């Protein structure tokens, strides 16, 4: 059996839960498409430490597909991230009190990496099911982008790693209650979204041509 590694994050910024870990932990041990088994890992919301723990896990146990997930409070959709940028610029301190400003994730690394997940095929499949989903053009510049960039940097040098990328998800309803007017997504829908994406990460051949750009 091949391995899919799914990661979520611990809570941060005064939250008591992180929907990414709440979602991901439900998939532990699941078999996708009869060929891939899911393993899960909870990452600390701490610059450098999060990446070190992801890289250590990948070095210890090779994965063929890696999907990292994080919370994006305020977003309304299941967001398939397109691009990771080589910058740390933290508006708040991380869980260890670190707040890097305008430092590279990897000194000397390329400006950016694209996700290698079939994000357009995933988006279309999610839309076909009536699920709220979007392609996002920025994963921000906090710990999620940091992990996404470090993951893609690793993938670039490790041929055994096939597809890799990042997904940002909205608050759960119980979190949104504490943020006036903030959108949320029910666990049931998050599970449907992730199930669809996992299947396509394994089974989708060529990427689809499906418009999902933004005009700001």
**Which positions are catalytic?**
81, 144, 168
Q: How far apart are CA 51 and CA 151, in angstroms?
A: 8
Residue 32 Cβ, how far from ligand PCA at the closest point, in Å? 23
Q: How far apart are CA 112 and CA 115, in angstroms?
A: 10
Give the residues across from 17 on adjacent strands. none
Residue 212 Cβ, how far from ligand PCA at the closest point, in Å? 20
Q: How far apart are CA 159 and CA 161, in angstroms?
A: 5
Residue 79 Cβ, how far from ligand PCA at the closest point, in Å? 10
Q: Is 143 one of the binding residues for ligand PCA (CB under 6 A)?
A: yes
Task: Kindly tell me which of 54 and 125 has the beta carbon lying closer to ligand PCA.
Answer: 54
By DSSP bridging, strand 36-43 and strand 31-32 are antiparallel
Looking at 54, 58, 66, 72, which residue binds ligand PCA (CB under 6 A)? 72
Q: Is 184 one of the binding residues for ligand PCA (CB under 6 A)?
A: no
Question: Counting beta carbons within 10 angstroms of the beta carbon of residue 130, is it exposed (0 to 12), middle (13 to 18) or buried (19 or more)?
Answer: exposed
Q: Is 70 one of the binding residues for ligand PCA (CB under 6 A)?
A: yes
Q: Which residues contact ligand PCA (rule: CB under 6 A)?
A: 9, 12, 18, 20, 45, 70-72, 140, 142-144
């Amino acid at each position: 059996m091949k391995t899919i590694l799914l990661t979520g994050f611990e809570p941060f910024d005064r939250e008591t839960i992180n929907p990414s870990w709440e979602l991901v932990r439900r998939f532990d041990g699941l078999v996708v498409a009869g060929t891939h088994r899911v393993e899960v890992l909870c990452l600390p919301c701490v610059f450098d430490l999060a990446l070190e723990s992801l890289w250590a896990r990948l070095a210890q146990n090779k994965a063929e597909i890696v999907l990292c997930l994080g919370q994006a409070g305020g977003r309304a959709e299941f967001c398939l991230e397109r691009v990771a940028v080589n910058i740390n610029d933290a508006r708040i301190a991380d869980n260890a009190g670190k707040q890097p400003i305008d430092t590279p994730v990897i000194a000397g690394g390329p400006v950016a990496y694209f996700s290698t997940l079939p994000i357009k095929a995933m988006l279309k499949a999610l839309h076909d099911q009536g699920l709220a989903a979007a392609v996002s053009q920025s994963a921000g510049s906090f710990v999620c982008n940091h992990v996404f960039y470090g993951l893609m940097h690793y993938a670039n040098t490790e041929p055994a790693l096939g597809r890799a990328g990042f997904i940002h998800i909205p608050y759960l309803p119980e979190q949104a209650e504490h943020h006036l007017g903030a959108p949320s997504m029910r666990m049931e829908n998050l599970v449907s979204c992730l199930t669809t994406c996992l299947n396509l990460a394994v089974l989708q051949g060529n990427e689809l041509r499906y418009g999902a750009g933004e005009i700001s």
